[in-house]
Structure 1
Amino acid sequence: MTAPTAGSLRVNGATLHYEVRGHGPLLLLIPGGTGGAASLAGLASGLAGEYTVATYDPRGMARSTLDDPEAGQSVAEHADDAFRLLELLSPGEPARVFGASSGGIAALHLLTARPERVERVVVHEPPVVMVLPDAAEHRRLLAKVGETLRTEGLMPAMAVFAAGLKGDGDDPAGPEAEAEAKVEAEVKVEAEVKVEAEVGLPPEAAARAEQTMAGLPYFVGRIVPAFMSYTPDLDRLEALSDRLVLAAGEDSRGELAYRPAAFLADRLGTDLVHFPGGHIGLTTHPAPFGDLLRETLRAGSRRTAGR
């Protein structure tokens, strides 16, 4: 795996930790969830032979610290962080950008706000659920996640959220789905703790698991409501659609995070590119995911079977 060069960048209200690998034109990878730069290490290493690949921890996560730990979050500010990194690492030269999940939302805003800095952007399952016809259902889901977090705590809120993400739009957070998701979440956490306690984890894997768990309260409490309430400028995206590639996981069909990418592709009249795996295919299938990302960056959007 290609070793990165690390750096830090002061931005408005935060200090970003970033990592750079490889040589060639700049490719900025914007992570989703709580994994940060560490979650993109495999993907970045695979692409470093062709690109200068930059990854980073979004503000408030892992090594990117907030000046005010209680500060509210916004898509526009996260997108501006990405812009500042482009200015630092590729001054005056438009760059390629990939964003996954919440990072895909930041990438969409970056494209509409700073199109002169973006040559091509690939967004994988950005959960911009407010563009969907059943947006009201998802507002209720977000409200329920927030209320559950306040009254019952993190894991019950994660269970409600997971149930909503698995749904196809019909009663996304119904009681049966919530109960099933809660059991699954609890079993998963117990299994991870048992494995770590009995057989141990490699140091890097253990550190990533710890980072993921540590970032969940911030992610569920501040990133999820701010980002999933965001509505992109569809007219602006349509005008810039020649630079935008919408992507989704082959195994994500029927899940909530898949639907906005499919909706936007249809709305903008572009192809939807299907990548290996599901919502986190970039970590479960880093090599084939990276191969297709490389091809997509070269060729732009392509037609895939099943759209």
Structure 2
Amino acid sequence: MAETDTRTLDAAGATLRYDVRPGTGTDGRPLLLIGSPMDASGFTTLASHFADRTVVTYDPRGVSRSERTDGAPENLPEEHADDLARLIEALGSGPVDVFASSGGAVNALALVARRGDLVHTLVAHEPPTARVLPDREAALAACADVHATYLRDGWGAGMVRFIALTSHQGPVPADWSEGPFPAPETFGFPAEDDGSRGDPLLGQNMRGCTSYLPDFTALRAAPTRIVVAAGKESEGTFAARAAVGVAEGLGTPVAVFPSHHGGFLGGEFGQQGAPAEFAEALRSVLTEG
């Protein structure tokens, strides 16, 4: 791919950094790849499959190179949506295509609800919003428990509960927080609490992301083509069930993509999906639009 151009953008309460990779083809509409709290480095493999298009990735506020300047302990999808709108406007290309993963998919839904004029096609892959689940009260309580455990006992203990929740099959039971849960060492996490509380997943985004209710009226009225996707191997898990709920709210089918929640990863963060097959499915969906 062409050399990456890293740019800086000032936003309310944050300084954002994003990367632009010029494409070799004639499609003038950039492809914006976003996650949350995953930063731009998580899309290295997926971006390589779209060398013919200009690809843009970024670090969300409070993550990696994008520093928060307001000192706020938590983020809301609406804040991320404003950041994304500012970024797209800075590109100066008109509407973009967006592939959004996990919390990034929640933020992208918030973006389209507010500024659908900026997005031509959105592929929202497994947006983990508990508000669309039939077991929403139990799911929201479990998300709050993950956050509270992190604040009380530290990163290792919080991550154990996060993994347990995101891998749980089926409805979340009302007594989910009672466990039992494995020790942090089971996953190679530290048992000791180092006292830090700046983790963007467990601290900054956990509650805001999962408690966001999409504005389905605004989304249905937006000029954006919205495709909600879920991984074939994710069926029954929290984020995949939420994808079904979002699709139902939009009145559209769920697009089944290869692999799992991180199906586009090619070894980033030690996780392996099926990136070539995933990219092919994504290209097919974008081409249809």
TM-score relative to the length of structure 2: 0.87
Does structure 1 conserve the Cα–Cα contact (< 8 Å) formed by 2:147 and 2:206? no
Q: Which residue of 2 aligns with 1:259?
A: 241
State the alpha-carbon separation in 2 of the partners of residues 19 and 75 from structure 1. Answer: 21
Count of aligned pairs between the two proteins: 272
- Report matched runs for 1:208-223 at 5 Å: 217-223=199-205
Does structure 1 conserve the Cα–Cα contact (< 8 Å) formed by 2:40 and 2:57? yes
| SS class of match (1:282) | coil
Which of these residues, 9, 15, 32, is aligned with residue 36 of structure 2?
32
Which consecutive residues of structure 2, in runs of 5 or more, have no partner in the other structure?
191-195, 266-272
CA RMSD across the alignment: 2.3
1:73 positional shift? 1.2
Does structure 2 conserve the Cα–Cα contact (< 8 Å) formed by 1:95 and 1:117? yes
Q: Deviations over 1:268-291 (max 9, x none)?
A: 221211111111111022221111
State the alpha-carbon separation in 2 of the partners of residues 124 and 216 from structure 1. Answer: 26
State the alpha-carbon separation in 1 of the partners of residues 142 and 177 from structure 2. Answer: 12
Letter matched to residue 99 of structure 1: A
Which consecutive residues of structure 1, in runs of 5 or more, have no partner in the other structure?
192-213, 301-307
* Distance verdict in 2 for CA 1:173–1:94, change over 3 Å: farther
1:107 positional shift? 0.5
Does structure 1 conserve the Cα–Cα contact (< 8 Å) formed by 2:73 and 2:203? no
* Distance verdict in 2 for CA 1:178–1:38, change over 3 Å: farther
State the alpha-carbon separation in 1 of the partners of residues 189 and 276 from structure 2. Answer: 29
Residue identity over aligned pairs, in percent, reads 36
| SS class of match (1:48) | coil
Does structure 1 conserve the Cα–Cα contact (< 8 Å) formed by 2:198 and 2:204? no
Q: Which residue of 2 aligns with 1:195?
A: none
Does structure 2 conserve the Cα–Cα contact (< 8 Å) formed by 1:238 and 1:268? yes
State the alpha-carbon separation in 2 of the partners of residues 225 and 101 from structure 1. Answer: 14
Q: Deviations over 1:76-116 (max 9, x none)?
A: 1101111111101134x111111100000011011110011
1:178 positional shift? 4.4
1:82 aligns with 2:81: no
TM-score relative to the length of structure 1: 0.82
Moved more, 253-262 or 148-157: 148-157
1:243 positional shift? 0.8
Q: Which residue of 1 aligns with 2:17?
A: 17
1:189 aligns with 2:161: no
| SS class of match (1:144) | helix
| SS class of match (1:278) | coil
